[in-house]
Structure 1
């Protein structure tokens, strides 16, 4: 199955028109940004295509990089570095470390071509070719064999970096080689402490950026190298520099939002992804888009959904979520048995429409939603059923809520044990399972309270808190994801449950924990103001509410709660 070439026609009222116009003008001119790495070639055009190839590689568009490198090789038949480029772009990557036989063969063949031309190189170019030779094999080995090849290449690049400590390109390549050894595993899940080797990667990239402050590859890698850490804000300088640096790349325009959502700069995150979408428009109009790049394009929209949701921009969040489904039918068969493994990660994303409806309390819309996920999207179906269960529970239709919850559990059971990135999938489903159970119990507590049954209400409330606390445990232990999955933090509901139980200190604690994780988000700022007011901390409550007012992007729809599933349950506390 082939991911469709999605037309980026999302009509978002928030669009920063001037910024998008600037991006479009630059893209029309084919603006690849400032990167230049002089190589041995007799052709100025071959040099230009090589620089383009490196820029695409820095942007994680390796298929486009290969096109540029191959063009450079045709323009200068003696250019060894053009073939080095084809080989390195065909190899393991941070986001796609698993090799295919096709990629392995292409990397091997290109390396043979580079070595044939090695006499036409400088000593540094020769060393780069020799180093990359360690990573190649004529046929793809097993997992252990691939790991040894990657390690040998990283070691060779380390030796080269020690010799050429003032060459930013070598430094960036070395850092990337080390990152590929542990893709998305640079920090311990949960406490986010660096694993062995991470600090060297970070310091290497900092050295590179001291040498070349606008190196697009180093800026990109630095964001990835520190975003899962306890101190992602240290990459703000990289985010600010990278935004707009390479206008032709949607992904590089999007990348600053990885840091902005972690530092509470929601408007900046929204803008970066809008500009990225404009770049993607131009790219798709003039290119045969590789399948993997469509995944990156959808990822940009997914990040916009999250950023808009966290600051109350419901219309923008829903428009982006619906756009993710545009032409999605082309992704799967009419009656799919499973999603293409290459695109399985999208199965975790396509629940966004239902998540936005839940986030903003559109319960009947969620139940009546016509966009039903196909059977092949097993993860999306599980979350869809869970969100429907919550919607029915809020409307006090507990029979249908239970039916939907059981359907969600059944869908979870259908997820194969060998599903791609099964650790992420299981994490998301564990959070979903306990989140939904807690939400349902919370609604049963409210129903019993309305019937003047305080004992039953308390029993259900205790069960709700128990389930929500369990969901938070799974959420905290989850592998870092950008944006998080699910996109609504569980603490937003747990805080309300604590408020309902009169546990105001616990409510304050979870809201502060959430704000430490997601600074400046309107939901927890509102919840915190309520929890503080309940403790008669009037000045602090007023300060938190002022911060909420400043960040909330939907003044026509102010919130009274951090979770709209119980908007009125603590109204005596939530009124100004």
Structure 2
């Protein structure tokens, strides 16, 4: 951990660093009760990092603001919020301790605080109070929901309230596929926040997640456009990345690649500045950015660019690209003997290389560590052994799971796209009609994917149907140096 005095030097250095791209620099602002302009700037930096999910750097900035102005109660609120806002990592053992400490510090500096600040601090105190984690999330969400209903004129209150509600909710769609009341409340809060402050980074960020989960990705295109339009100081890579979530859903692969390449460049600039809490935290997201770059490039057939994009990255990322490109000897040569996801990838590569015994050994190693994709792996092993019906049954189960429980996020299985694998298995087994149905369904989820378009054309051709539209779409979107074959898919 950095000493408390170090963040000031880091912040000065960042201010002089060039932005990863041209355009107006993104910023966040929440006016707080301080006469120290530097403390306000530090608070705003912390807020921007909150909204960019760099919780480590948010804590650094809020702590520096509190050092400048110890009576700035909102700086302690910010430190507590930093350990809960990230919907992907809302709780850690260390964070629970930090959050309780920040709340206690905030309560000790309330002498000059307004009723609004007191209410916000008491709300976040519920997050670190008594009860189970789920109960504490619910208490915090209820407190923020009540507060935001009475403060509809503050975009940051509305945004933070929406994040609090998200972490308390397990389900956002009801059995009919409609938004739950709480999902509707979040959307209302975020929409209102953007009316008040059209450039609110946190509102755009969470609105993308929410509309993606509600299967309304097209409605979040304005949010993606907004996050795409800014330049970002190092440490805020997750914001340009978020636009890629929507480009993936609407079939804008070039934009997905461009925004996530910007995110990767931002990461690298950030890591070059040191290895403080902010850099350590964003290492959690670096591979996520690379996933989207590699997903987009390999989808379009820009395979050499995909290899180059991960050439200096860790072995596992290189494995994933190699697996996507069916370079099985290369996959098997990386990190031999490892378990978990590495063994899973080795098992797939062995099975598809004709090494049944090696595949069994690697599959056993993967399962020993509880690797989750058992049914897909079983299907691939059965397929390699010529057990066609067993393979199709298992791949269908994996596909159904991917569409429902996993939600179909492209990065979840981009190196082994489950729907594409199932459709290819059907087509290879002479079941062209169901293969056509799966390819068509996948294109509804991932429009403009040339690999799926080629597969759809082949499935229609095998049935004597007109394949001209699917073939033309493939040719319009494919950027590979040679045409696809059935062996390239899956």
Compute the TM-score of the two structures, normalised by the length of structure 2: 0.87
**Partner of residue 293 from structure 1, selected from 279, 282, 297:** 282
Q: 1:30 to 1:232 in 2, by over 3 A?
A: closer
**Partner of residue 73 from structure 1, selected from 66, 73, 80:** 66
Q: Which residue of 1 aligns with 2:91?
A: 98
Looking at structure 1, the residues matched to 417 and 62 of structure 2 have their Cα atoms a distance apart, in angstroms, of 43
Does residue 198 of structure 2 align to residue 213 of structure 1? yes
Looking at structure 2, the residues matched to 378 and 462 of structure 1 have their Cα atoms a distance apart, in angstroms, of 27
**Partner of residue 357 from structure 2, selected from 394, 400, 403:** 403
Q: Which residue of 2 aligns with 1:452?
A: none
Q: 1:482 to 1:57 in 2, by over 3 A?
A: farther
Does residue 487 of structure 2 align to residue 559 of structure 1? no
Q: Which residue of 2 aligns with 1:336?
A: none
Paired residues for 1:128-527 under 5 Å:
128-137=120-129, 145-182=132-169, 186-187=172-173, 194=179, 197-245=182-230, 247-248=232-233, 249-290=236-277, 291-325=280-314, 350=316, 352-366=317-331, 369-373=332-336, 375=338, 377-390=339-352, 392-393=353-354, 401-416=355-370, 425-426=371-372, 428-438=373-383, 440-441=384-385, 444=386, 460-480=387-407, 481=409, 483-485=411-413, 487-527=415-455
Paired residues for 1:40-79 under 5 Å:
40-79=33-72
Partner-residue secondary structure (3-state), 1:235: helix
Looking at structure 2, the residues matched to 194 and 431 of structure 1 have their Cα atoms a distance apart, in angstroms, of 30
Per-residue deviation, 1:166: 2.1
Does residue 476 of structure 2 align to residue 550 of structure 1? yes
Q: In 2, are the aligned partners of 1:386 and 1:404 still within 8 Å (CA)?
A: no
Per-residue deviation, 1:58: 0.6
Looking at structure 1, the residues matched to 289 and 428 of structure 2 have their Cα atoms a distance apart, in angstroms, of 37
Unpaired segments of 5 or more residues in structure 1? 1-22, 327-349, 394-400, 417-424, 445-459, 567-576
Unpaired segments of 5 or more residues in structure 2? 1-15
Q: 1:153 to 1:490 in 2, by over 3 A?
A: closer
Does residue 106 of structure 2 align to residue 117 of structure 1? no
Q: Which residue of 2 aligns with 1:456?
A: none
Q: Which residue of 2 aligns with 1:88?
A: 81
Looking at structure 2, the residues matched to 434 and 194 of structure 1 have their Cα atoms a distance apart, in angstroms, of 34
- Higher mean C-alpha displacement, 529-538 vs 148-157: 529-538
Partner-residue secondary structure (3-state), 1:119: coil
What per-residue deviation string (whole Å, max 9, x for no partner) do you get for residues 293-330 of structure 1? 2121121112212222222121222334444416xxxx
Q: 1:532 to 1:482 in 2, by over 3 A?
A: closer
Looking at structure 1, the residues matched to 254 and 81 of structure 2 have their Cα atoms a distance apart, in angstroms, of 36
Looking at structure 2, the residues matched to 124 and 355 of structure 1 have their Cα atoms a distance apart, in angstroms, of 49
Compute the TM-score of the two structures, normalised by the length of structure 1: 0.75
Q: In 2, are the aligned partners of 1:260 and 1:268 still within 8 Å (CA)?
A: yes
Does residue 29 of structure 2 align to residue 36 of structure 1? yes
Looking at structure 1, the residues matched to 100 and 330 of structure 2 have their Cα atoms a distance apart, in angstroms, of 54
Q: In 2, are the aligned partners of 1:50 and 1:69 still within 8 Å (CA)?
A: yes
